Amino acid sequence: MKNKKIICIFSILLVIILIAGYFGIRYAKEKEAQESTQEYTPEEEITEEQLRQTIVSLYFPDKETGELMPEARLVDIKEIMNNPYEKLVNLLIEGPKNEKATKVIPENTKVLRTYTEGDCVVLDLSKEFLNYSKEDTKQKQNMIDSIVNTLTELTEVNSVKFMIDGQSNEEFKDVYTRKK
């Protein structure tokens, strides 16, 4: 008799534990579902100015190795929308913000005009572009690669052609593409 009473009490407790467990799990799942469907509210609102900015990659030579390295730059979309090629080359002319990189385009170089011919950007630069060290063959190649790598980051550009003061120039007569 005593054993039957213990078994009965034990069975009732087991049923209560199972029912409590079932409802506890159900409650936890419902709460989790509610939390996952709630709208996320950022701690800080995105400002209008932040919405108008994009990141571009500019390529400058490393001071130590001379190899090109990308530099990410935050740019206002309004500045880059009208003439992105001119804006990007002007940023290259200004030089890097990173102290480990060096400016590669000669001082006082101006962008006279940019336009596209298919997927090629034609870049008309002032004669100051020719003021690079002719003995340093790496400088000329870095100038070309810096501009080509920067402009070909844009999906519509696959090559770059250089002109000096509106004329073809023997030193930059080729159409240049990005090196893999």
**pLDDT value at residue 132:** 87
Phi, psi of 119 (to 5 degrees): -100, 15
* Residue 22: per-residue pLDDT: 86
**Alpha-carbon gap, residue 9 to 132, rounded angstroms:** 96
Q: Are 58 and 88 in contact (CB under 8 A)?
A: yes
Residue 158 neighbours by CB under 8 Å, 6+ apart: 119, 120, 152, 177, 178
* pLDDT computed for residue 39 by the predictor: 62
Range scoring the smallest mean pLDDT among 101-115, 125-139, 153-167:
125-139
Cα angle 103, 109, 113 (rounded to 5 degrees) comes to 120
- Taking residues 148-170, report their average pLDDT: 92
pLDDT value at residue 18 = 84
- pLDDT tens, residue by residue, 2-40: 778 888 887 888 888 888 888 888 888 887 777 666 565
User: What was the pLDDT predicted at 44?
Assistant: 65
Residue 53 confidence (pLDDT): 82
pTM of the model: 0.70
User: Lowest-pLDDT range, 41-50, 136-145, 165-174?
Assistant: 41-50
3-class SS shares of the chain: helix, strand, coil, % to 5? 45, 25, 35
Does residue 43 surpass a pLDDT of 70? no
Which pLDDT does position 128 carry in this prediction? 93
Shortest CA distance to 72 belongs to which of 50, 101, 115? Answer: 101
pLDDT in tens, 156-166: 999 999 999 99
- State how far the Cα of 130 lies from the Cα of 78, in Å rounded to an integer: 31
Distances (CA, A) of 70 to 42, 87, 140, 170, 173: 31, 17, 18, 29, 26
